[in-house]
Every structure is written in C-alpha cells, then in structure tokens.
C-alpha cells in the first residue's frame, strides 16, 4: 500500500469514496460536489483542500481530505474533513496510515490542533480516535447552515 498526495487525476476515485461515505452516513443523495469542483478547488493556485490517498494494486482505496483553518485561541489548525476507506478494504491499516499522514503533515506545518467531526452513532470511529489519544468532545455542538438557510436568512435580514 502506498500513501501519497492526491492529484487531479485521482478525483474520480475521490468522488466515488465521498459518495460511498454518504451512503454509510445515511445521506446517499447529499453529495452535489463534482469531479470538476474537486479539481478546481483542490488544485488551483490557492487550494481549498488537500488530500492524501491510499493506493493498493493501482487502485485508490482510501482518502484523507483536509484543509487549514485558523483558531483565535490556537492559530493555524488543520480540519480533517473526511477519512474514508472503501468498506471492502477496511481492516488492512489504510485508515491508520492516512490518519498518521495527516498528523505528520500537521506536525510538519506547525499546527497547534487537528480537529474533525464524528457522528455520535459511529462507535467504531470514536473508539479508533480515542485509542490514538484524540479527545471526542461531548460539550460542543456542530452548527451548519445550508444554501436554503443562507438564502432565507439573507432574505429575512435584508
């Protein structure tokens, strides 16, 4: 297995993994991002994300997609958006290898924190993260506003 930085030609496989994750997370129709979006947003002069891929027998079996954030308390941080391994390839160490690569990247970049979200029902992931020394915070709530919410807010507050 090879862990390497993702390239624009990897984006079809990356999108396939994103869609597989959406099915796993019980949101099969939620993915609207396209291969073109991924290429544009990840490989422009100012990329919005970076990714590592796990490759086995010339097939991408996993990804870790991350981007940089800024914390007013900590400074530069990394947000790990998704860590995905194809279901049939789980258990061979790809997830740990990708996870480790993101953490190594964070150390190399001098970030003060690496953060991500995990669904409260995904006990396997929670156990994995806690076993590695990560803290799963129960006192914070994830807040989001989708496109419809943005439009409704701006319309009612114009």
Separation between Cα atoms, residue 96 and residue 85, nearest integer Å: 10
- The answer to whether 119 and 83 have CB atoms below 8 angstroms apart is no
Task: Exactly one of 66, 67, 70, 129 is catalytic; name it.
Answer: 129
Separation between Cα atoms, residue 54 and residue 84, nearest integer Å: 10
Q: Of 134, 70, 58, 69, nearest to 96 (Cα)? A: 134
Strand ranges for the chain from DSSP E: 2-5, 50-56, 59-71, 75-85, 113-115
Active site residue 68: no
- The answer to whether 78 and 109 have CB atoms below 8 angstroms apart is yes
- The answer to whether 68 and 76 have CB atoms below 8 angstroms apart is yes
List active site positions: 129
């Amino acid at each position: 297995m090879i862990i390497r930085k993702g390239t624009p030609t990897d984006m079809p496989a990356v999108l396939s993994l994103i869609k597989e994750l959406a099915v796993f997370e019980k949101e099969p129709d939620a993915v609207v991002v396209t291969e073109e979006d991924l290429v544009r947003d990840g490989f422009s002069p100012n990329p919005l994300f970076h990714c590592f891929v796990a490759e086995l027998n010339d097939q991408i079996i996993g990804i870790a997609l991350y981007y940089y954030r800024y914390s007013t308390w900590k400074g530069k941080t990394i947000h790990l958006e998704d860590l995905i391994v194809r279901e049939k390839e789980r258990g061979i160490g790809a997830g740990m290898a990708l996870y480790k690569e993101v953490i190594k990247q964070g150390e190399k970049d001098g970030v003060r924190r690496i953060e991500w979200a995990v669904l409260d029902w995904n006990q396997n992931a929670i156990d994995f993260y806690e076993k590695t020394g990560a803290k799963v915070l129960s006192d914070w709530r994830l807040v989001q506003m989708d496109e419809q919410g943005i439009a409704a807010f701006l319309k009612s507050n114009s």
